Amino acid sequence: MRRRGAHVCGESDRPRGVAALVVQTLGGVANGRLSRLPVTVRFWDGSELASDRRATVVFRDPAAVMQLLRAPGQLGLARAWVDGSLDVEGDLEAVLRTRDAFAGVRVSARDRARLALAALKAVGVRGLRPARVPAVEARIGGRLRSLSRDRNAVRHHYDVSNRFYRLVLGPTMVYSCAYFARPEDTLETAQQRKLELICRKLALRDGERLLDIGCGWGSLLIYAAQHHGVHALGVTLSEPQAEFARARIAELGLADRVEVRVQDYREIEDGPFDKIASVGMYEHVGRDQLGHYVQTVMQLLRPGGLFLNQGITRLAPHPPKPDPFIARYVFPDGELHPVTDILAIMQSLHFEFRDVESLRDHYPLTLRRWAANLEASRGQAIAEVGSQRERVWRLYMIASALGFEDGELSIYQVLAARPGAPHGLPLERTRLLTPSA
């Protein structure tokens, strides 16, 4: 027995209620291309536009429409998703896979006006209330790439809750792409393998000074000190991260060899270091600051020292349209570049490349394990950070996994040496790239 007003695919009756108005309106705009919906859509009155897909997009409340009226396009959709007025029943990934269904559709000014009028009619007088911007949307002010703005942008993402991140990341507390030997590896095994891989590529030796730019919760610092005998300094802009890392370091008895500071990499003055790692940080730097970033690393590194940069890149040579969901809710001021951008800058500053490796196939595996952790602990996550932020993380991890799988995004580890002294890397490349399991 179906809900009153709902439309079931194959029945002779037509959609009713809000669904009928939507069908009528979509059929008259953009040459009718918007009327062929790739998913089932249900509205707050129970009426439905049916499809044979595995998921249903649900407009739970007229507030979703008001969000779209206030900010048409991706930003309105993002806000409606985050505030819960727009939802998905079933497979969220199946819905995201339809994102190219309307590629190339052009909506004229007249079409937009018609859609707006229909939206107002659909919500009715009772639904006419201002759409509120979700509380977790970033509000970052100040001069772009300034120290203060960068701190606020980073803290929006990382000063959430250490307990929340523990639920998502697991016990390793590593928030970057893992390194899998086989798809069925556990997340913990793959993350330990990645930490070892970084240490091997850097050819860490007992007593050397290691700098970790953007050290997170201190996992690489701790691993390198325990397994390779280094003295390590990590910097982060997140005080909660630093507190968590310091507690771990003290508990393991490493306080005499490992230090964590709340400090911007541009403020470090106690170089040189033998080795420098930057894992998942340069995405926050910005294209116009890449030269200063690489130059700062060069100045902090001794001659012959090694620098490993791991970062997400875009594969398309031209900048994509801004993604308001990522910019407003996930990584404010984040910016992705082709890997050739940083390679060109490093080469211009006389770094010598020793190894470049793509980890693109590893990141979907990582993201799906994080998403599974969140799904398994959703109730605890909501209790810890609220439903809006849980919805942000749920969407961004699945969408990002698809981006890597589809070749829109990639991630590279670039290993380079500062000239002026021997780099000390092994002749046999397998020793560089084959970490212990």
88-92, long-range: CB < 8 A, 24+ apart: 88/55, 88/56, 88/57, 88/58, 89/42, 89/55, 89/56, 89/58, 90/54, 90/55, 90/56, 91/54, 91/55, 92/55, 92/394, 92/395, 92/398
Q: What is the CA radius of gyration of the chain?
A: 25
Tokens of 161: 């809750």
Query: Among the ranges 144-148, 300-304, 321-325, which has the highest mean pLDDT value?
Result: 300-304
How far apart are alpha carbons 118 and 124 in whole angstroms?
10
The contacts of residue 30 (CB under 8 Å, 6+ apart) are 105, 106, 107, 108, 111
Residue 1's CB is within 10 A of a number of other CB atoms, namely: 3
Region at 29 (left for phi over 0; alpha for psi -120 to 50; beta for the rest)? beta
Q: What is the pLDDT of residue 320?
A: 74
Residue 362: per-residue pLDDT: 98
With a cut of 80, say whether residue 433 has pLDDT above it.
no
Q: How far is CA 167 from CA 63, 123, 369, 385, 408, in A?
A: 31, 38, 11, 11, 28
Across 12-21, 63-72, 197-206, least confident range: 12-21
Q: Helix, strand, coil shares of the chain as percentages rounded to 5?
A: 45, 15, 40
DSSP for 324-364 reads HHIIIII-TT-----HHHHHHHHHHTT-EEEEEEE-TTHHH
Residue carrying structure tokens 């005499």: 256
Alpha helices in 128-186 (DSSP H): 147-158, 162-169
Q: How high is the pLDDT of residue 318?
A: 76
Distance CA 378, CA 372 (A): 10
Residue 8's pLDDT is what?
A: 42
The pLDDT assigned to 125 comes to: 66
Checking if the pLDDT of 370 tops 80, the result is yes
Higher pLDDT, 125 or 368: 368
190-217 burial: b if 16+ Cβ within 10 Å, else e: bbbbbbbbbbbbbbbeeebbbbbbbbbb
Q: Where are the domains of the chain?
A: 17-127, 147-433
Residue 13 neighbours by CB distance under 10 Å: 7
Higher pLDDT, 215 or 433: 215
Q: What confidence score (pLDDT) does residue 223 get?
A: 98
Flag the least confident range among 52-66, 122-136, 376-390, 406-420.
Answer: 122-136
Which pair of structure tokens corresponds to residue 435?
């970490």
pLDDT digits (tens, 9 = 90+) for 76-118: 999 999 999 999 999 999 999 988 877 778 888 888 888 889 8
pLDDT above 80 (res 321): no
| Res 48: pLDDT | 92
Q: Is the pLDDT of residue 278 over 50?
A: yes
| pLDDT for position 12 | 46
The residue among 209 and 3 whose pLDDT is bigger is 209
Of 34 and 207, which is predicted with more confidence? Answer: 207
Distance CA 2, CA 364 (A): 38
| First-to-final CA distance of the chain | 55
Could you give the strand order of the β-sheet that contains 352-358, starting from the edge strand earlier in sequence? Answer: 258-262, 231-236, 209-213, 273-279, 301-314, 409-417, 352-358
Mean pLDDT of the chain: 92
Share of the chain above pLDDT 90, in %: 77
Pick from 61-65, 73-77, 125-129: least confident = 125-129
- pLDDT recorded at residue 375: 97
Is residue 123 pLDDT above 80, yes or no? yes
What confidence score (pLDDT) does residue 14 get? 67
pLDDT value for 435: 59
What does the pLDDT read at residue 356?
96
Query: What pLDDT does residue 101 have?
Result: 79
At residue 376 the predicted structure's pLDDT band, cuts being 50, 70 and 90, is very high
E-strand ranges in 109-191 read none
- Whether pLDDT at 4 is above 50: no
Distance from C-alpha of 35 to C-alpha of 38, rounded to nearest angstrom: 9
Q: Provide the pLDDT for residue 179.
A: 97
pLDDT at 260 over 80: yes
CATH of domain 147-433: 3.40.50.150
User: pLDDT-derived band of residue 200, with 50, 70 and 90 as boundaries?
Assistant: very high
Query: Tell me, what's the pLDDT at 134?
Result: 97
Residues above pLDDT 70, as percent of the chain: 95
Which of 312, 285, 313 shows the shortest CA–CA distance to 150?
A: 285
- Above 50 in pLDDT, residue 246? yes
The residue ranking higher by pLDDT, 410 or 28, is: 410
